[in-house]
Structures are given as structure tokens and as C-alpha cells.
């Protein structure tokens, strides 16, 4: 498809028009509390196919189905384990996707042929209204071109998908900034397949022990969540993570050397260290310094991460040096995305 992508606002009339397009089998991107999603009727295989085409997404990577009311789940799953019920009560609407055994009503285009389906109820007024107005569950992956950072604004969506999708609902910036936690509740022990907005600590408090898919920390094991294996969130430049106590000095040294070679350099700094970098490099010198957020509030890092990666691209940065964060709470999701963005290139200081 190559036609104009319509930009809708969040008023009732616009949402009804967007919902109409979805009912007709078109794709429309919409805001959620995590990132923007690219929606299509989850029960219509032809509509779902358009998502894969627009994104250039590999077809073995299943989609998350978004619902607005708990009743909507009965047509999608064969049964709901007790632990899943507890999660729904506590965390829905919210950034938690539950992997559940699916019915035949869910097309294999959504599940990529698996016998499970990922479902979530987003905690976002506009998303909930749009799903309710459309009257259908919406399959929606992040609304980026496959491999690019997930979009946290409508502008990011248009940057990647303009002319390839029927519309986008502009609801301002997404809040959480990293995607939902994907939790497999089909086995005895709940397993995190992708860390996200609902943390392992929060889940364990409710459910007892919660595992983490070993593939997340070992590149040699095939992940249970197919999407996790692909290169993701990648900037156009090459990114390195700098770990250890002397990270500021190390980054200054590396950035100076790269500047010396005539490279355009980016530094993704914690709020606490940004001034230290700014006092060494000025922008005219070809170093772009962006603040990721505070070490003391990792939710700020989560919410700015993808926008920062896209901003480095806009500046044509060739090499990016990023500081790293604690893996507590949402830090686990932040570090998971940073490692992937950096293609697992880590330098110790
Ligand atoms: O926050 C989010 O989850 C966003 C917003 C739009 O809701 N969506 C999102 O979708 O991140 P996507 O397609 O970018 O990522 C979906 C992830 C992939 O890693 C996929 O492999 C996994 O969920 N997934 C979906 N269905 C699955 C299933 N049945 N079994 C295992 N993993 C599944
Ligand atoms: Mg994605």
C-alpha cells in the first residue's frame, strides 16, 4: 500500500472514523501506555496480514491481542489458569501481556501457528475507547518498522510507516516507554518471556516464584517468545554499553578517540552524569549528549530510551556510548532493551 496515512485526534468523532477503518480490515496505529501499537482486527486474517506487510515483520513472530473488557477474552482462550486470573485482577488494565491457550477463533496469522495467544488490556483511555468503538479485539505489535526502536509518539510512527498504514491516532507521548511484560502462565511456574513495565518483583509479590526465560541472558538458547530473538530497537549508528565504576572516564576516552578519527559521536548519559560529559564536549565538536533519565528513577530512563535512540539517528551519529543501569524493577526491561540496541556490545571500564 502506498497512500496517505490519516492522522486522527482523540475526539469521539475521529475515534469513530478510526474504528470504522479497523472494522473494514484496515490498519490503524494507536497510543497505549507502553508504546504505540499498529492495530488490526485480530479475528480477520487478511487484516492481520497487513500488519506484517506494513512492518516488514517476520511471519513467525506472533502478535499481542488487545482487549477493552474482560468479557472479550472468552472467545480467545480455552481456559484461564488461576494465576492468570490473579494477574488480570491486579495488573489489568496495564503493561502485562499474558500468554494463554487459544481457541480456534484466533487466526494462525496472529499466533504464528502456536497454540497460545498473548493478550493484554492497555491502561490508556484512547486505546480502550478505540477498541470498544471498533467492537473487535485488536492485534497490535509495536508500530515501528521491524528492527527499529518502538514508537513512543505518533511522529515516530509516521517516520517509519507513513504511506504504509491507513491511519494513526495521535494521543501524545506514551508514558511507560518500554513494551509490556510478556508472562507465560500456561505452565506450573509463571515465566517472564520479555521484561517490561510490570516488574518481576511486582509479579512475585502476587504469585510467588516467577522465572525468567533463560534465553534472555544466553544468546545460545532459542527464546520462547519468538520476537525476542530478532535484532531490535537498533539505532542506525553502532552502540556500545559501558559498564563499571569508571564509565564516565572510559566514555570520554572512547569518544575523544572516535572524534579524532572524524566520527560523529553520541553519548547516552544518566541524568546524574550528563553535565560531566557536557563540560568535556560541546555539540559543535560533533558529540551529541542525550540524557536518558535518572539512576534513582529508572522509569524516566524507560520512558526516554527509544526517543533518544531515534534522536541519535536524526543527528547522523555513527558511534553511541551508553551508560548502564541497575537491573532492579523496570531496570531489567531497560537493560534488556539497551543490550539489544547495542547488539550485546559491552565494554568494561
Ligand atoms: O507494550 C506492548 O506489548 C506493545 C503495545 C503496542 O501493546 N506491543 C508489543 O508488541 O510490544 P510486539 O509485537 O512488538 O511484541 C510482542 C512480543 C513478541 O516478543 C512476541 O514474540 C511475543 O510478544 N508473543 C506474542 N504472542 C506470543 C505467544 N503466543 N507466545 C510467546 N510469545 C508471544
Ligand atoms: Mg516490537
What separation in Å is there between the alpha carbon of 141 and the centre of ligand 1?
6
- Average pLDDT of the chain to the nearest whole number: 94
pLDDT of 52-69, one tens digit each? Answer: 999 998 888 999 999 999
Name the residue with the closest Cα to ligand 1, atom 31: 225
Rounded to whole angstroms, the Cα distance separating 277 from 268 reads 10
Helix (H) and strand (E) counts in the chain:
11, 16
In this prediction, residue 286 carries a pLDDT of 72
| Residues in the ligand 1 pocket, defined by CB under 6 Å | 32, 34-35, 37, 61-64, 95, 97, 99, 111, 114, 116-118, 122, 140-142, 179-180, 182, 193-194, 224-228
Grid coordinates belonging to 11? 475526539
**93: preceding bond cis by omega (within 30 degrees):** yes
Closest C-alpha to 209, from 337, 79, 336, 83: 83
Between CA 143 and CA 154, with CA 149 as vertex, the angle to 5 degrees is: 45
Where residue 18 falls among pLDDT bands split at 50, 70, 90? very high
In this prediction, residue 56 carries a pLDDT of 93
Q: How far from chain centre, in Å, is Cα 63?
A: 12
Specify the ligand 1 atom closest to the Cα of 176: 1
Nearest 5°: phi and psi at 308? Answer: -60, -45
What separation in Å is there between the alpha carbon of 277 and the centre of ligand 2?
31
Burial of 193 (0-12, 13-18, 19+ CB in 10 A): buried
Rounded to whole angstroms, the Cα distance separating 71 from 256 reads 58
pLDDT of 209-244, one tens digit each? Answer: 999 998 887 666 667 776 666 667 889 999 999 999
What separation in Å is there between the alpha carbon of 185 and the centre of ligand 1?
15
Which residues, chain by chain, have CB under 5 Å from ion ligand 2?
142
The fraction of the chain above a pLDDT of 70, given in percent, is 96
Which of 122, 153, 182 has the most ligand 1 atoms within 8 A of CB, as the residue to mutate? 182
pLDDT of 268-316, one tens digit each? Answer: 999 999 999 999 987 667 799 999 999 999 999 999 999 999 999 999 9
What separation in Å is there between the alpha carbon of 236 and the centre of ligand 1?
23
What separation in Å is there between the alpha carbon of 317 and the centre of ligand 1?
29
Query: Taking 70 as the threshold, does the pLDDT of residue 77 lie above it?
Result: yes
Grid cell 566514555 — which residue?
Answer: 251
Rounded to whole angstroms, the Cα distance separating 10 from 124 reads 12
Q: Nearest ligand to the C-alpha of residue 51?
A: 1
In this prediction, residue 133 carries a pLDDT of 98
Closest C-alpha to 335, from 348, 347, 322: 322
Average pLDDT over residues 29-37: 98
Specify the ligand 1 atom closest to the Cα of 66: 7
The fraction of the chain above a pLDDT of 90, given in percent, is 89
Closest C-alpha to 209, from 192, 228, 195: 192
In this prediction, residue 106 carries a pLDDT of 98
- Residue 286 near residue 259 (C-beta atoms within 8 A): yes
Specify the ligand 1 atom closest to the Cα of 97: 3
pLDDT of 112-166, one tens digit each? Answer: 999 999 999 999 999 999 999 999 999 999 999 998 999 999 999 999 999 999 9
Q: How far from chain centre, in Å, is Cα 2?
A: 25
In this prediction, residue 168 carries a pLDDT of 98
In this prediction, residue 232 carries a pLDDT of 73
- Put simply, whether the predicted model's pTM sits higher than 0.75 gets the answer yes
In this prediction, residue 273 carries a pLDDT of 97
Specify the ligand 1 atom closest to the Cα of 197: 1
In this prediction, residue 219 carries a pLDDT of 63
Query: Taking 60 as the threshold, does the pLDDT of residue 1 lie above it?
Result: no
Closest C-alpha to 7, from 38, 28, 22: 28
In this prediction, residue 234 carries a pLDDT of 85
In this prediction, residue 283 carries a pLDDT of 64
What separation in Å is there between the alpha carbon of 82 and the centre of ligand 1?
22
Distances (CA, A) of 257 to 252, 265, 270, 277: 9, 10, 21, 15
Amino acid at each position: 500500500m502506498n497512500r496517505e496515512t490519516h492522522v486522527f485526534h482523540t475526539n469521539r468523532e475521529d475515534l469513530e472514523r478510526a474504528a470504522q477503518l479497523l472494522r473494514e480490515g484496515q490498519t490503524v496505529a494507536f497510543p497505549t501506555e507502553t508504546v504505540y501499537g499498529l492495530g488490526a482486527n485480530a479475528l480477520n486474517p487478511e487484516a492481520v496480514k497487513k500488519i506484517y506487510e506494513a512492518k516488514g515483520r517476520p511471519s513467525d513472530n506472533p502478535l499481542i491481542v488487545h482487549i477493552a473488557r474482560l468479557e472479550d477474552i472468552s472467545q480467545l482462550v480455552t481456559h484461564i489458569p488461576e494465576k492468570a486470573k490473579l494477574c488480570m485482577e491486579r495488573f489489568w488494565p496495564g503493561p502485562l501481556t499474558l500468554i494463554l491457550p487459544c481457541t480456534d477463533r484466533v487466526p494462525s496469522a496472529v499466533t504464528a501457528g502456536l497454540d497460545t495467544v498473548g493478550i493484554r488490556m492497555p491502561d490508556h483511555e484512547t486505546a480502550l475507547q478505540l477498541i470498544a468503538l471498533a467492537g473487535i479485539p485488536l492485534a497490535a505489535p509495536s508500530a515501528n518498522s521491524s528492527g527499529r526502536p518502538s514508537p513512543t509518539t505518533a511522529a515516530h510512527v509516521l517516520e517509519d510507516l507513513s504511506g504504509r498504514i491507513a491511519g494513526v491516532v495521535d494521543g501524545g507521548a506514551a508514558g511507560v516507554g518500554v513494551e509490556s511484560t510478556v508472562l507465560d502462565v500456561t505452565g506450573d511456574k509463571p515465566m517472564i518471556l520479555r521484561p517490561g513495565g510490570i516488574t518481576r518483583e511486582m509479579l512475585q509479590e502476587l504469585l510467588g516464584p516467577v522465572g525468567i526465560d533463560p534465553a534472555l541472558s544466553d544468546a545460545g538458547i532459542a527464546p520462547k517468545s519468538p520476537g525476542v530473538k530478532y535484532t531490535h530497537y537498533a539505532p542506525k549508528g553502532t552502540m556500545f554499553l559501558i559498564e563499571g565504576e569508571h564509565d564516565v572516564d572510559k566514555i570520554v576516552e572512547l569518544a575523544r578517540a572516535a572524534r579524532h578519527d572524524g566520527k560523529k559521536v553520541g553519548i547516552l548519559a544518566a541524568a546524574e552524569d550528563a553535565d560531566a560529559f557536557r563540560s568535556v564536549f560541546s555539540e559543535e565538536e560533533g558529540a551529541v549528549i542525550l540524557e536518558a533519565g535518572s539512576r534513582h528513577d529508572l522509569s524516566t530512563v524507560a520512558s526516554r530510551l527509544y526517543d533518544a535512540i531515534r534522536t541519535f539517528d536524526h543527528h547522523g551519529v555513527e558511534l553511541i556510548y551508553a551508560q548502564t543501569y541497575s537491573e532492579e524493577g523496570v531496570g531489567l526491561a531497560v537493560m534488556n532493551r539497551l543490550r539489544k540496541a547495542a547488539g550485546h556490545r559491552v565494554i568494561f571500564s
